Structure 1
Amino acid sequence: MPRPNPVPIAAARPKKQQKPSPGRENIVSGKPVSSAVGPVANIRTRRERPCDACRRRKSRCVIHEGAVLCVLCEFHKQECTFVQSPLPRKRKVVDDGKKDSPNNQKKSRSVDAEPPPLALPTPTITATAPSPPPPQSQLANSHIPHLGETLGLQRRQHSRYIGLSSPFDSLLIGLSHFDTRNESTFDLGTLRRVNDHECFIMLPDENTQDYADEADTLQHVEQCVHPHGPALLDLYFRVVHPSFPIIQKHLFVERYRNGDRTFSPSLMAGMYILALNWWSFDQRLVHHPKPDAARLEAIAMRSLSRAMERPKLSTVQAGLLLLQRPEADSWSLTTQLVAVGQELGLHLDCSGWSIPLWERGLRKRIAWALYMQDKWSSLIHGRPSHIFSANWAVQAINDDDFNEEGDGFDHRPEESEEVQEENERGQILFAQMIELTQVMAEVMDTFYTQVAIQDFANAGEGSTDLILARAKPVQIKLRQWHDKLPVQVKMNAPTKSNLSPLGSLHLAYFATEITLHRRIVQSLDASSHNPYGFFMCRNAAKTRLISAMDFVNRLKPQHLQAFWYFASKINFTLIGTFGSLLWATAPAQEEADFYKTRLREYRWTLSVSSKRAEFLDYAVSMLDASRAMLNNLAEKPSLATQISNAGVPPAVSARSGAGAGAGASASGASGGHDVHMQDMADLKRHYSEESFRGFGHEPFGSRPGSGEQTAEGSVVGE
């Protein structure tokens, strides 16, 4: 259908008889939309002229029947003219020194301007175009893929999801006329249908604030790191990307190599900022002054706030990368990214959308990374999550979602065996982190929502029993996750790389366990609980604490210097917080002294490890703050004093564990005073056992309570 206000063009070509063709340019993969589509595209024969713009792009020029603009000119919102004469064919010049033509000079300068390769094990961006952007004429002839078929990566327009309750009623949208691109143009914008139910509105970027300054902002970002931009991107894809694959690596690299400088400034800055953490890992970079990270962060945050007015996938990518900084701690930015993700439809199931297959996988990876950001931020800040299961339709991630085929580039660089191994390990790590986050989210929903807190308060003295009952199914899921952990991501798995990012996954597992047991310990009251049940709950908590501390004590430099998810800094701190809680609630001085000693050892471990992982300084500071609070804790009576006050005869000996269990049952039935005194004797024997010796030196998983064996324990009350 012609537009209401057609764009003026030059003198039109004479119409010729055209043959309909069933195909169209850049067909996207996916389920076709069932609504009626426009006329089939009429493709000119080879003798017909392409428009001037398509001739410059060396693209196929397609004009729909009745349309005044070709497909690409209509997409780029530009005139479709036929005034320029055909370009002369270029002949290959024999290498005889006659290279004085402008084209040959340009090629020679481009090659000379390339920076020398850096000594990296797996170079990917090295020897790319120089940081200053090339002229537009050079970009026009370079092989850069058209992103017009994508939904969230278009260059000059952005998309916003249209919900069912919005003024755009789905039935009225169905009455619109959609062309072969599943688009319908009207006064407010362009409707883009991705399936029978979901629709987006496409809006031009140029109508948003500060859009014209985006190219200058990108130039400022490049100037901050020039001439080390390519080397920093190599570091990013080597260290960060394998375990946090939210970038379409091959597409990004090829666009960068071909001179495309239409990247989001905040995204580029985020990649550079993260890579700066491994500046010393490159032998050539280490001899140069490090770029100003604070200046990069300032540019990135300003650019990101402006980019949220024209949301794209790159907006969420940039925000997620900036939040992975070790010093980043922004709850408000996390909530903003969730809102932007919902505008982009990241909470929906895109598996059947009419978008490129590789974009479906990219959207799922970004969506699950946003999910993890929201859920772990909810835990470490103690605030409500903004993503609810009732409105989360994203399918589970699978191997196909990491496939980058079909992005417009046929050439695929060969990767070494080591790189392939690390990429596979990173994909498994990413998928396992998603599954663990889902279990952790269930822990938060079960114990830390306002409804759950009120339920436990209403239960009174029965709150511990209610918490234990609700904890059992969650603990089973957590144990099953640990038992099914693939061998590639176990802490003792061999690796050829000098860095191992597995630490953040296992630390997150301990943080989830501690978050569950922390709620149980908070509900315990020695004066109102059966002594044996009280002892069992605290013993289970002590086992988790020792296992977590043992895990931290065994971390090696290859773990500490690798990439850690943003929540790791707080997860290290939660271990110390849990130890302080057990110290503060210890019923006897002997137990309090035990936790005091363990926390002193834990602080020493963190302070030594912080030499290789500076973000651990925060956990050390929090431990010191907790220790300062515990200075106000009143001294507890010794266990011998408690037993003496209870009237236990000196001749009474400790019973076996079986007898203690029977005695506990009898105590619950008859409330006998002798059984209560014998339980106190059991506690005394427990606090004098060798289990309080501290850390051993066995490798990972060699004994119960270590990082590979923790899941064998069960929740009290099973």
Structure 2
Amino acid sequence: MTTVVAIQPAMPRPTPVPIAAARPRKQSKPSPGKENLVTGKPVSAAVATVANIRTRRERPCDACRRRKSRCVINEGAVLCVLCEFHKQECTFVQSPLPRKRKVVDDGKKDSPNNQKKSRSVDAEPPPLALPTPTITATAPSPPPPQSSLVHSHLPHLGETLGLQRRQHSRYIGLSSPFDSLLIGLSHFDTRNESTFDLGTLRRVNDHECFIMLPDENTQDYADEAETLRLVEQIVHPHGPVLLEIYFRIVHPNFPIIQKHLFVERYRSGDRTFSPSLIAGMYILALNWWTYDPKTSAYAKPDAQKLEAIAMKSLALAMERPKLSTIQAGLLLLQRPEADSWSLTTQLVAIGQELGLHLDCSSWSIPLWERGLRKRIAWALYMQDKWSSLIHGRPSHIFSANWAVRPISDEDFQEEGDGYETRQEETVEQKEENEKGQILFAQMIGLTAIMAEVMDTFYTQTAIQDFANAGKGSTPLILSRAKNVQLKLRKWHEELPQVVKMHPPPAGRLSSTGYLHLAYFATEITLHRRIVQSLDASTHDPYGFFMCRNAAKTRLISAMDFVNRLKPEHLQAFWYFASKINFTLIGTFGSLLWATAPAQEEADFYKTRLREYRWTLSVSSKRAEFLDYAVQMLDASRAMLHNLAEKPSLAQQISTAGVPPSAPPRSAPLHSHSHSHSHMGPPLRQMSQDDVDMQEGAELRRAPSVGSFHGFGNNDSLDQYGSQMGSRGGSGSLTAEGSLRGDTPRSQ
């Protein structure tokens, strides 16, 4: 009969589980208290058993004393029941804790507390408990009395790969000194672990293996508890309220934490959290300090102190990487003022060290950890890709080494974490969680398309290709843009109703804005490359106009979207790239202004940018990070002061020596057979721009950006694509795949 690998153990195992340190300790001369460490060797196990039995008769082990719980060692066992259950050392090195005898003797005064403590360890005040009236009123309720010790101390952390308390994992690659064939010769126990001199091998399937190393050998590990205490002290007594804010506003839209697991650990008094992680949660929650009635009346905690502690703690945690390290880094990068390219690259490296780039769907780890790993992995993927865009630097995640499967509904489940009891969610909470999951999944899909835009147009290879194409760079860019534009349009058309830009219910925040803003940023990034390649002197005038008109449509649609944002959108959670995405709209408008062929068109963009700046200034009262977009707009305008005066349409027509009449847009172009290199004066361009400026004049007379409903379907752009194909150009486009001038309005 084959041995089945257990991935969800809930009962203590009869066989001791060897968790080796980095260096095995010599057993010939056991030091006091150290004889209880499990090494997996029969001789040392026997010594440890005798020592445990002998010492147990005198007093409980150190861990049970701290818990104030009964220390029970089964006959023939190496560890006591609780230490074996929690996969921890069972030592007897600490002295008994000092007691206040008056509390023990005064049974009348403290009898209720004494009885409560004797009934359940859950009721014991946690090490970092904040027993003040404010906290008592707002803190989560304690677990029910009937909940067992098994549930309160979370057994399944010992079965995880990336969340264990006393050790961390590092992925072993195929080309590393640990050859996979040699690893296969090792003897693995029921937990798929094998102990050897350098640590403990943890095999998760037939192909992937990790090495488990003890945390205690890393720098400043012993100071983590003190660091966590400092974090709690800064927010005291508002920690539970800030966590409540975090899980209400941030978590549904950025679900990289196992909510139920975290909440139950916090309630049961577990304070072994990563200091940088819980500090990151507090820092993000502080953005809504003044909006929450439970906190607005109090002085706001010092966020800068929290950030300093969090960043220092994160740097130390990178030496013992766990999933909480990635979680903490991602949360700290969501701060509106955070802009760290180096931290992003470090997180990508740590994620690869933890195996987040691999497919974990068949690993022998708890089912809920598989889902958590996938959510964290895709969050890391998005962080890398959007950081690449906003910084204009190469991405560090490549498709050839990315095996993570697409996100699914099962990856958001909370069951199987070891806690049977859980709070019932309200209908509103369930709706927000489901909406947030769809929002998160849609953002992943959009990010993949955006990454394709970056790979197609902004890599060094692509830039060199366009430079080598010379005058044919625009047709080449248009031909490469065909497929990605179709994917982008298809993504927008299939967007679920729940994450479209519907007016949110009064009093309920909505984070759908960051998704639609990212969509417009992707569109702009694509068309920005096209506009940069255009040259009126060497391009077909009609094609020149249609490309610019398509870009103009994107700009106006994006500005219209920003103008329609409501307070419920502005005050919600915004993804970290949103600050730059708002800025990219203004940058794109400045680019169109600078490259406008006539003064009238330049004046149009100048007016639109002035209106956009006003919208951002007003909106920044509710979303302070928009101040950055305003500053960047002002910087762009300062650069445009050096722009030379552009000729007016009348001057261009006079120079050309032709009347200002213009044929209709749908007029055939077959009669124009000039080559690109021998184009005469841009007659058709001038007439079309004249019509375009009339549309612009109407827009300028409109009361606001919000009154503009976008351009209609621009069939002429499809016609242009078809005729490019009929002329046999290298960048031919079909009508189906051409770049249309009609961007669907955000719904």
TM-score if structure 1 supplies the norm length? 0.84
**Alignment counterpart, residue 184 of structure 1, candidates 183, 190, 194:** 194
> How far apart, in 2, do the equivalents of 1:153 and 1:555 lie?
40
For the 8 Å contact 1:704–1:710, the answer to whether it is kept is no
Residue 654 of structure 1 deviates from its aligned partner by 1.5
**Alignment counterpart, residue 684 of structure 1, candidates 684, 690, 700:** 690
**Alignment counterpart, residue 663 of structure 2, candidates 647, 655, 665:** 655
Q: Does 1:629 align with 2:629?
A: no
Residue 255 of structure 2: aligned partner: 245
> How far apart, in 2, do the equivalents of 1:68 and 1:273 lie?
44
For the 8 Å contact 2:258–2:414, the answer to whether it is kept is yes
For the 8 Å contact 2:511–2:574, the answer to whether it is kept is yes
CA deviation digits over 1:210-261, x for unaligned, max 9?
Answer: 0000000000000000000000000000000000000000000000000000
CA deviation digits over 1:569-604, x for unaligned, max 9?
Answer: 000000000000000011111111110110010000
Residue 78 of structure 1 deviates from its aligned partner by 2.3
> How far apart, in 2, do the equivalents of 1:640 and 1:417 lie?
63
Residue 683 of structure 1 deviates from its aligned partner by 2.4
> How far apart, in 2, do the equivalents of 1:216 and 1:541 lie?
55
Q: Does 1:218 align with 2:233?
A: no
Residue 44 of structure 2: aligned partner: 6
Residue 337 of structure 1: aligned partner: 347
The verdict on how the C-alpha distance between 1:320 and 1:701 changes in structure 2, with shifts beyond 3 A counting, is farther
Residue 680 of structure 1 deviates from its aligned partner by 2.3
Q: Does 1:346 align with 2:367?
A: no
Report the RMSD for the aligned CA atoms in angstroms.
3.5
The verdict on how the C-alpha distance between 1:702 and 1:639 changes in structure 2, with shifts beyond 3 A counting, is closer
Residue 45 of structure 1: aligned partner: none
**Alignment counterpart, residue 411 of structure 1, candidates 411, 414, 421:** 421
Q: Does 1:597 align with 2:611?
A: no
Residue 116 of structure 2: aligned partner: 104
Q: Does 1:78 align with 2:89?
A: yes
Q: What amino acid sits opposite 2:327 in the alignment? A: Q
> How far apart, in 1, do the equivalents of 2:702 and 2:136 lie?
40
Residue 697 of structure 1 deviates from its aligned partner by 7.9
Residue 53 of structure 1 deviates from its aligned partner by 7.1
Structure 1, unpaired ranges of 5+: 15-49, 82-94, 130-137
> How far apart, in 1, do the equivalents of 2:226 and 2:351 lie?
26
Mapping 1:334-483, distance limit 5 Å: 334-483=344-493
**Alignment counterpart, residue 281 of structure 2, candidates 265, 268, 271:** 271
The verdict on how the C-alpha distance between 1:243 and 1:494 changes in structure 2, with shifts beyond 3 A counting, is same
Q: What amino acid sits opposite 1:583 in the alignment? A: W
The verdict on how the C-alpha distance between 1:508 and 1:142 changes in structure 2, with shifts beyond 3 A counting, is closer
CA deviation digits over 1:84-124, x for unaligned, max 9?
Answer: xxxxxxxxxxx99993673436888859975558899xx8x
SS at match of 2:272: coil
Q: What amino acid sits opposite 1:3 in the alignment? A: K
Q: What amino acid sits opposite 1:331 in the alignment? A: W
> How far apart, in 2, do the equivalents of 1:430 and 1:246 lie?
10
SS at match of 2:159: coil
For the 8 Å contact 1:99–1:105, the answer to whether it is kept is no
> How far apart, in 1, do the equivalents of 2:73 and 2:207 lie?
31
> How far apart, in 1, do the equivalents of 2:703 and 2:74 lie?
70
The verdict on how the C-alpha distance between 1:487 and 1:261 changes in structure 2, with shifts beyond 3 A counting, is same
Mapping 1:286-297, distance limit 5 Å: 286-297=296-307
Q: Does 1:512 align with 2:522?
A: yes
SS at match of 1:498: coil
The verdict on how the C-alpha distance between 1:321 and 1:277 changes in structure 2, with shifts beyond 3 A counting, is same
For the 8 Å contact 1:127–1:230, the answer to whether it is kept is no
For the 8 Å contact 1:119–1:282, the answer to whether it is kept is no
Residue 126 of structure 1: aligned partner: 140
The verdict on how the C-alpha distance between 1:199 and 1:695 changes in structure 2, with shifts beyond 3 A counting, is farther
Residue 510 of structure 2: aligned partner: 500
Equivalent pairs counted in the alignment come to: 651
> How far apart, in 2, do the equivalents of 1:204 and 1:178 lie?
19
Q: What amino acid sits opposite 1:657 in the alignment? A: R
TM-score if structure 2 supplies the norm length? 0.81
CA deviation digits over 1:455-512, x for unaligned, max 9?
Answer: 0000010000000000010000000000000000000165465211010000000000
SS at match of 1:562: coil
The verdict on how the C-alpha distance between 1:713 and 1:660 changes in structure 2, with shifts beyond 3 A counting, is closer
The verdict on how the C-alpha distance between 1:385 and 1:300 changes in structure 2, with shifts beyond 3 A counting, is same
Structure 2, unpaired ranges of 5+: 1-17, 19-39, 54-59, 93-106, 722-732, 739-747
> How far apart, in 2, do the equivalents of 1:482 and 1:430 lie?
15
CA deviation digits over 1:520-546, x for unaligned, max 9?
Answer: 000001111111111111000000000
CA deviation digits over 1:686-718, x for unaligned, max 9?
Answer: 222357515968999994459xx9999979652
For the 8 Å contact 1:347–1:367, the answer to whether it is kept is yes
Residue 260 of structure 1: aligned partner: 270
> How far apart, in 2, do the equivalents of 1:289 and 1:494 lie?
30
Q: What amino acid sits opposite 2:662 in the alignment? A: A
> How far apart, in 2, do the equivalents of 1:346 and 1:241 lie?
20
Residue 597 of structure 2: aligned partner: 587
The verdict on how the C-alpha distance between 1:368 and 1:495 changes in structure 2, with shifts beyond 3 A counting, is farther
The verdict on how the C-alpha distance between 1:701 and 1:710 changes in structure 2, with shifts beyond 3 A counting, is farther
> How far apart, in 1, do the equivalents of 2:428 and 2:549 lie?
44
For the 8 Å contact 2:151–2:418, the answer to whether it is kept is no
CA deviation digits over 1:415-447, x for unaligned, max 9?
Answer: 111111001100000000000000000000000
> How far apart, in 1, do the equivalents of 2:552 and 2:310 lie?
44
Residue 196 of structure 1: aligned partner: 206
For the 8 Å contact 2:563–2:705, the answer to whether it is kept is no
CA deviation digits over 1:133-186, x for unaligned, max 9?
Answer: xxxxx9999543341100000000000000000000000000000000000001
Q: What amino acid sits opposite 2:140 in the alignment? A: T
> How far apart, in 1, do the equivalents of 2:168 and 2:715 lie?
46
The verdict on how the C-alpha distance between 1:279 and 1:669 changes in structure 2, with shifts beyond 3 A counting, is closer
Mapping 1:221-232, distance limit 5 Å: 221-232=231-242
For the 8 Å contact 1:116–1:127, the answer to whether it is kept is no
SS at match of 2:667: helix
> How far apart, in 2, do the equivalents of 1:508 and 1:618 lie?
17
**Alignment counterpart, residue 540 of structure 2, candidates 526, 530, 548:** 530
The verdict on how the C-alpha distance between 1:289 and 1:372 changes in structure 2, with shifts beyond 3 A counting, is same
SS at match of 1:341: helix
Residue 280 of structure 1 deviates from its aligned partner by 1.3
SS at match of 2:175: coil
SS at match of 2:111: coil
